[in-house]
């Protein structure tokens, strides 16, 4: 199930076959659209776009004044926008921003109108859809002004049809924005853009067509339409080594979460517990949401969503080993079985071992993602119990010193956890279990010192990209 996060179906190019275009998209699996009303305000595009949203239950609308038309912005138009923003199907404000390529409106006017529309969107708590072309410095400056005025957390929205630099992408993500990629990502000369898309976590990505413009490969030369958003999804899947279904699920969740839409979630994303979930050709096991730590970068309590799956799991809903085994079915269908939910799987050690035994007797590779506190939690040396059941442990190292570790991990054993985690890793290596120790890339970490610790216990080292924000926390010594 795909969502086209930016379409201009109000444009006259669709007047002859708009209904057929929408039907083709639905047949291609595009179930939701965000109609960007206002592509030509002087010709009534706002009203056409809003009418589309009201006609189709799966179409939502955003209203705003494009930088090309910033010169048209006046009090009367502002009052119209404010009135339209109160309609039920209006979920965003945009597209707004700066365009210094065409300069259809004077740049000072563009900046003034951009600032004003950001203010209005923030007042109404509507995510903004931002257009920027050859204006990165001013765009970042104005976004940061609005971010600061909102308290640093409340602003959010989309950098649409992203073709900018890594600097712009990183600055936007820092301020809570999603980055939306169009068919440009499929163009032959878009190597740098593909590198940016590959660098971003999937939790920050959306897909769009910006139709009728920017038709993706292999449809170049045709009028663009929402059905073609699937081609952008395919390119994202290729860059992130995911399936197209993974990209559809994750980007759809990202869209709904941003706009607070309460439509049914895609398959695998119901409000019911997900005790197993698939990514690529691996199956992940969600045993518990309980943990021995409360890491500063973890959304376990506030937003237990991973790759578009809802992994919220109350203690009374924790699955038995038999339930998990039933949910797995034939484990040989998967490249690996990974114990990795939104909690610490070794808390439920007996269930973990029973499920792992089932998988190993059928020849499946088994990996456990863990914070590494199993010895402390169970009061014994756990690694020997995993021999023959677990092929690999992915252990969160997170910091090179005990003091910094505790500021980041906030464990149940402030004086013991850092050393015990390393001891657990060392014992596992000694038992012949492969160990990888990882660090989340956050400010002020000595990564080389972390690498040396991993190597000292015989483990491999991996750097993990930060998925969200950690506020203004200072992780220095």
Residue 308's pLDDT is: 86
Residue 471's pLDDT is: 39
Residue 467's pLDDT is: 52
Q: What is the mean pLDDT of residues 252-258?
A: 95
Instruction: Report d(CA 246, CA 284) in Å as an integer.
Output: 14
Residue 433 and residue 393 in contact, taking contact as beta carbons nearer than 8 Å: yes
Q: Which domains does the chain have, with CATH numbers?
A: 2-259 (3.20.20.140), 276-464 (3.20.20.70)
Residue 274's pLDDT is: 85
270 pLDDT exceeds 80?
A: no
Residue entry with tokens 């021995």: 292
Residue 97's pLDDT is: 98
> Could you report the per-residue pLDDT of 177-204, keeping only the tens digit for each?
999 999 999 999 999 999 999 999 999 9
Helices 75-85/107-123 angle, 10° precision: 30
Higher pLDDT: 256 or 303? It is 256
Choice among 237-246, 249-258, 272-281 with the minimum mean pLDDT: 272-281
Residue 131's pLDDT is: 98
Report whether the peptide linkage leading into residue 172 is cis, meaning its omega lies within 30 degrees of zero: no
Residue 56's pLDDT is: 97
Burial class (CB in 10 A: 0-12, 13-18, 19+), 227: buried
Residue 474 banded pLDDT, cuts 50, 70, 90: very low
Q: What is the mean pLDDT of residues 69-89?
A: 97
Longest CA–CA span in the chain (Å) reads 74
Q: What is the pTM of this model?
A: 0.84
> Could you report the per-residue pLDDT of 378-424, keeping only the tens digit for each?
999 999 999 999 999 999 999 999 999 999 999 999 999 999 999 99
Mean pLDDT of the chain: 93
């Amino acid at each position: 199930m795909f969502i086209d996060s930016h379409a201009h179906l109000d444009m006259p190019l669709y007047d002859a076959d708009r209904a057929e275009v929408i039907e083709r998209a639905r047949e291609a699996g595009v179930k939701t659209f965000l109609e960007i009303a206002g592509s030509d305000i002087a010709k009534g595009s706002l009203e056409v776009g809003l009418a589309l949203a009201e006609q189709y239950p799966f179409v939502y609308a955003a209203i705003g004044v494009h930088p090309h038309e910033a010169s048209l912005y006046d009090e009367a138009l502002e009052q119209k926008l404010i009135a339209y923003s109160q309609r039920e199907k209006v979920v965003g404000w945009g597209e707004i921003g700066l365009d210094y390529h065409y300069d259809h409106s004077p740049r000072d006017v563009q900046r003034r109108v951009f600032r004003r529309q950001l203010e209005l969107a923030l007042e109404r708590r509507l995510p903004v859809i931002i257009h920027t072309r050859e204006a990165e410095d001013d765009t970042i400056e104005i976004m940061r002004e609005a971010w600061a005025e909102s308290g640093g957390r409340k602003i959010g929205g989309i950098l649409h049809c992203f073709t900018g630099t890594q600097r712009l992408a990183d600055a936007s993500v820092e301020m809570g924005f999603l980055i939306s990629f169009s068919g440009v990502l499929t163009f032959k000369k878009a190597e740098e853009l593909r590198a940016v898309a590959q660098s971003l976590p999937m939790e920050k990505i959306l897909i769009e067509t910006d139709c009728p413009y920017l038709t993706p490969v292999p449809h170049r030369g045709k009028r663009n339409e929402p059905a073609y958003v699937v081609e952008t999804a395919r390119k994202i899947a290729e860059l992130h080594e995911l399936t197209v279904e993974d990209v559809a699920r994750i980007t759809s969740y990202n869209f709904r979460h941003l706009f607070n839409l309460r439509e049914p979630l895609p398959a695998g994303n119901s409000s019911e517990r997900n005790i197993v979930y698939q990514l690529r050709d691996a199956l992940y096991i969600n045993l518990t949401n309980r943990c021995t730590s409360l890491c500063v970068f973890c959304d376990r309590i506030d937003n237990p969503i991973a790759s578009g799956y809802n992994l919220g799991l109350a203690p009374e809903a924790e699955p038995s080993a038999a339930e998990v085994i039933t949910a797995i079915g034939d484990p040989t269908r998967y490249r690996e079985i990974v114990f990795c939910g939104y909690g610490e799987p070794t808390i439920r050690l007996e269930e973990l071992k029973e499920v792992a035994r089932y998988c190993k007797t059928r020849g499946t590779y088994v990996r456990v993602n863990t914070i590494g506190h199993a010895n402390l939690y169970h009061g014994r040396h756990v690694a020997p119990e995993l021999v023959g059941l677990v092929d690999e442990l992915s252990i969160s190292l997170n910091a090179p010193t005990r003091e910094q570790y505790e500021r980041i991990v906030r464990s149940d054993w402030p004086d013991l956890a850092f050393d015990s985690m390393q001891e657990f890793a060392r014992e596992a290596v000694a038992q012949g279990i492969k160990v990888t120790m990882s660090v989340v890339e956050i400010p002020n970490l000595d990564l080389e010192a972390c690498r040396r610790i991993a190597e000292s216990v015989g483990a491999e080292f991996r750097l993990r990209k930060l998925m969200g924000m950690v506020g203004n926390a200072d992780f220095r010594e």
